[in-house]
């Protein structure tokens, strides 16, 4: 089965509400088509292993975001091939990449242990990856097959050596209610919240370099809620802050508590990723260059930083040396016209196979 055929079959399977059927298909294919030891855990992750020595994992996920209206028909997703591209929910993020990794896992002659892993729950905070890590999943090295195409130049597949994470938090301002006709009798929580917002806007954003690639954080107030009626001074106001984090640095949002009546709480955290082994990053880059030689791209693959969080963050936090390398282009994932270039799927399959053959840690 070719990468394109496998990708098409995976994309057809709905997996936005329940990824079980997609996991069944992946597990069945691995058992039928490879000589790997295949394991399915209690949460639905599928892991296969073959070979001995230092371990290199090809990592993806088989859950997807909900389809747009035109991407589903009956009980199946709509899948189309046109102009050398595969269209459908999950084609870019990331069943196309899964197909490339599965075929590479089957066909590679690995220098060490080669691992394939497809997680559930990536789109909802990395629940599958976290469960696998808690259960002992710890390869020495990993290529997370999320999109890295089109970063250095259109059509070029790059190697991401870092990506940002996310920290979502809430600033809660408390005051004292009063009738709006006598505002001096109360303490306006919205005004206190505005002081905290001004503090957030004035913070210097963290920035680092990973293997020479700059990674800069961001901060944005994305929600504000306060007040119960037009004629009441509000005693509570909450502000949601979206922070895109960089490896090793966080914005000092806790200092907003210096504003009287303001409390800061962290709601959720998705970690950033930084590759900690330049030799591994360069080996992945060389594998891509070799793969691109038989499928000329508009430019040479480069080391880049990726703005979006992936399961590589959880793996890196657990001590796995990671890079991100995959076929999806910027702006394709989660869209109503989601698609992936079939030639780039083949390119990534060759790169994964080449890296597995060359890299022994």
Per-chain mean pLDDT for the chain? 95
Over residues 252-267, the mean pLDDT reads: 97
Show me where the domains of the chain are located.
3-163+272-358, 165-270
Q: How confident is the model at residue 209 (pLDDT cuts 50, 70, 90)?
A: very high
pLDDT of residue 32: 97
**Distance separating alpha carbons of residues 341 and 87, to the nearest angstrom:** 9
Q: How confident is the model at residue 233 (pLDDT cuts 50, 70, 90)?
A: very high
- Beta-carbon contacts of 172 under 8 Å, excluding residues fewer than 6 positions away, are 236, 237, 238, 239, 262, 263, 264, 265
Over residues 137-143, the mean pLDDT reads: 97
Element (H, E) at 80: strand 80-82
- Beta-carbon contacts of 9 under 8 Å, excluding residues fewer than 6 positions away, are 25
**Distance separating alpha carbons of residues 307 and 249, to the nearest angstrom:** 15
- At 82-91, the pLDDT tens digits run 999 999 999 9
pLDDT of residue 72: 87
pLDDT of residue 73: 83
Q: What value does the CA radius of gyration of the chain take, rounded to a whole number of Å? A: 23
Measured N-to-C along each axis, helices 342-358 and 278-293 cross at an angle, to the nearest 10 degrees, of 130
Note whether 3-163+272-358 and 165-270 share their fold. no
- At 318-344, the pLDDT tens digits run 999 999 999 999 888 899 999 999 999
Tell me if the pTM is above 0.75: yes
CA distances from residue 6 to 34, 111, 274, 295, 348 in whole angstroms, order as listed? 14, 25, 31, 20, 14
Q: Which residue, among 277, 303, 275, has the nearest Cα to 288 in the 3D structure?
A: 303
Domain at 165-270, CATH class? alpha beta
Share of the chain above pLDDT 70, in %: 99
Q: How confident is the model at residue 296 (pLDDT cuts 50, 70, 90)?
A: low
What homologous superfamily is domain 3-163+272-358 in, according to CATH? Zn peptidases (3.40.630.10)
Of 312 and 1, more confident: 312
**Distance separating alpha carbons of residues 185 and 233, to the nearest angstrom:** 9
pLDDT of residue 327: 96
Q: For residue 9, count other CB atoms closer than 10 A to its CB.
A: 15
Helix and strand element counts for the chain (H, E):
8, 22
pLDDT of residue 297: 64
Over residues 181-200, the mean pLDDT reads: 97
pLDDT of residue 38: 98
3-class state of residue 84 by DSSP: coil
């Amino acid at each position: 089965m070719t990468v394109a055929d496998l990708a098409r079959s995976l994309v057809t399977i709905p997996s936005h509400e329940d990824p079980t059927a997609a996991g069944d298909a992946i597990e069945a294919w691995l058992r039928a088509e490879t000589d790997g030891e295949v394991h399915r855990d209690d949460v639905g992750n599928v892991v296969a292993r073959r070979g001995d020595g230092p371990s290199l994992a090809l990592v993806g996920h088989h859950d997807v975001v909900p389809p747009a209206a035109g991407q589903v028909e009956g009980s199946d997703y709509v899948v189309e091939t046109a102009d050398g591209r595969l269209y459908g929910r999950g084609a870019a993020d990331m069943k196309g990449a899964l197909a490339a990794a599965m075929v590479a896992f089957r066909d590679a002659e690995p220098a060490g242990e080669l691992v394939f892993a497809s997680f559930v729950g990536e789109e909802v905070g990395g629940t599958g990856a976290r469960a696998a890590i808690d259960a002992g999943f710890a390869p020495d090295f990993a290529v997370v097959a999320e999109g890295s195409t089109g970063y250095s130049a259109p059509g070029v597949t790059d190697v991401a050596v870092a990506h940002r994470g996310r920290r979502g938090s809430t600033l809660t301002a408390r005051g004292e209610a009063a009738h709006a006709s006598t505002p001096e009798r109360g303490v306006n929580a919205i005004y206190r919240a505005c002081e905290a917002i001004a503090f957030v806007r004035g913070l210097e954003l963290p920035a680092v370099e990973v293997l020479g690639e700059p990674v800069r954080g961001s901060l944005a107030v994305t929600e504000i809620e306060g007040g119960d009626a037009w004629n009441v001074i509000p005693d509570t106001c909450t502000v949601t802050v979206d922070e895109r984090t960089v490896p090793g640095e966080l914005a000092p949002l806790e200092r907003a508590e210096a504003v009287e009546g303001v409390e800061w709480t962290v709601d959720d955290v998705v970690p950033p990723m930084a590759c900690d082994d330049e030799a591994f990053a360069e080996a992945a880059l060389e594998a891509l260059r070799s793969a691109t030689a038989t499928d000329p791209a508009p430019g040479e693959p480069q080391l880049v930083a990726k703005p979006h969080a992936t399961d590589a963050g959880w793996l890196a936090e657990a001590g796995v040396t990671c890079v991100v390398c995959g076929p999806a282009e910027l702006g394709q994932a989660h869209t109503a016209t989601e698609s992936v270039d079939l030639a780039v799927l083949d390119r990534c399959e060759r790169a994964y196979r080449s890296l597995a053959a060359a890299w022994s840690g």
